[in-house]
Chains A and B, each alone.
Chain A
Amino acid sequence: MRAIGKGSLASILAMGLHVMRVVIWIAFVGLSIAVVMIPFAAVIVGLLSGVDGVNVDASVSIDGGDYLEIAYYFVTAAVLLFIINHLLEILKTLRFGSPFVMENADRFRAIGYALLIGELAKFAFGFLSIFIEADVDVGLELITWIAIIAVFVLSEVFREGARMKQEQELTI
């Protein structure tokens, strides 16, 4: 399989990431609409149940837990978008044939921090859900933590790679 160009793994990954980015943006917009509409949910449901022939359960109650869940989804979506954007930038440098640059080392480190923040946010929201009842799935996943460490290791490898590349370029 070719490293760059049409049909390469990099181009397939880039395409997948672009699709994911669109999906997450749609989710983002959906969440934003939900946040705006929540205060009016009871009113809307009430109106709908008043219409003849429409059968709606009028007993809708939205509590703090729902807001907490939405906030959690917002954070998750933001972290995902941040990571996808950085990965796409890294793939772009690969496409132009110079992936071993300091910027990519910094990008990988930023991805590592984003993953860390995303994971810690999960626990923070899980902790909050003790006080405000919300359905936040909190579980310690070893694979996630290994992945975070792997990204940081990759970042350091890229840093050394960038240094070596620079040295090689300046060796006549």
Chain B
Amino acid sequence: MGISVKLDRVLLERGMSLTELSERVGVTIANLSILKTGKAKAIRFSTLEAICKELKCQPGDILFFSDEDGAPAPAE
């Protein structure tokens, strides 16, 4: 529902662990898991930029939109 963050697939493709990403981006693991679990209310452009830079991807590779009526987000 709404915007969701899917980091797992890209992380797997890059062979990077969540801990490594956290260190590279400068965001705590706790905050990264808030992002992953969908509890986050917003994401700063600077955070998104850093994540995309480290994962060498586009925002669209990690952010997904699904309708409010529960249509599933693309599978990871």
Interface size on B, residues (CB 8 A): 12
Determine the residue in chain B with the shortest Cβ distance to A166.
B41
Question: Which residues of B are found within 8 Å of A171, using beta-carbon distances?
Answer: 40-44
Q: Please report the C-alpha to C-alpha distance between residue A167 and residue B27 in the assembled complex, in whole angstroms.
A: 17
Q: Please report the C-alpha to C-alpha distance between residue A170 and residue B40 in the assembled complex, in whole angstroms.
A: 5
Does any Cβ of A come within 8 Å of B34's Cβ? yes
- Which residues of B from 6 to 63 have beta carbons under 8 Å from A? 27, 31-32, 34-35, 39-44, 47
Q: Please report the C-alpha to C-alpha distance between residue A74 and residue B27 in the assembled complex, in whole angstroms.
A: 56
Interface size on A, residues (CB 8 A): 5
Does any Cβ of B come within 8 Å of A142's Cβ? no
Question: Which residues of B are found within 8 Å of A33, using beta-carbon distances?
Answer: none
Determine the residue in chain B with the shortest Cβ distance to A170.
B41
Q: Please report the C-alpha to C-alpha distance between residue A170 and residue B38 in the assembled complex, in whole angstroms.
A: 10
Question: Which residues of B are found within 8 Å of A170, using beta-carbon distances?
Answer: 34, 39-42
Determine the residue in chain A with the shortest Cβ distance to B5.
A172
Question: Which residues of A are found within 8 Å of B35, using beta-carbon distances?
Answer: 172
Determine the residue in chain A with the shortest Cβ distance to B33.
A172
Question: Which residues of A are found within 8 Å of B39, using beta-carbon distances?
Answer: 170
Question: Which residues of B are found within 8 Å of A167, using beta-carbon distances?
Answer: 41-42
- Which residues of A from 139 to 172 have beta carbons under 8 Å from B? 166-167, 170-172
Q: How far is the CB of A100 from chain B (nearest CB, A)?
A: 15
Q: How far is the CB of A41 from chain B (nearest CB, A)?
A: 65
Given contacts A170-B40, A172-B31, A172-B47, 17 further A-B contacts (CB under 8 A): A166-B41, A167-B41, A167-B42, A170-B34, A170-B39, A170-B41, A170-B42, A171-B40, A171-B41, A171-B42, A171-B43, A171-B44, A172-B27, A172-B32, A172-B34, A172-B40, A172-B43
23 A-B residue pairs with CB within 8 Å: A166-B41, A167-B41, A167-B42, A170-B34, A170-B39, A170-B40, A170-B41, A170-B42, A171-B40, A171-B41, A171-B42, A171-B43, A171-B44, A172-B27, A172-B31, A172-B32, A172-B34, A172-B35, A172-B40, A172-B42, A172-B43, A172-B44, A172-B47
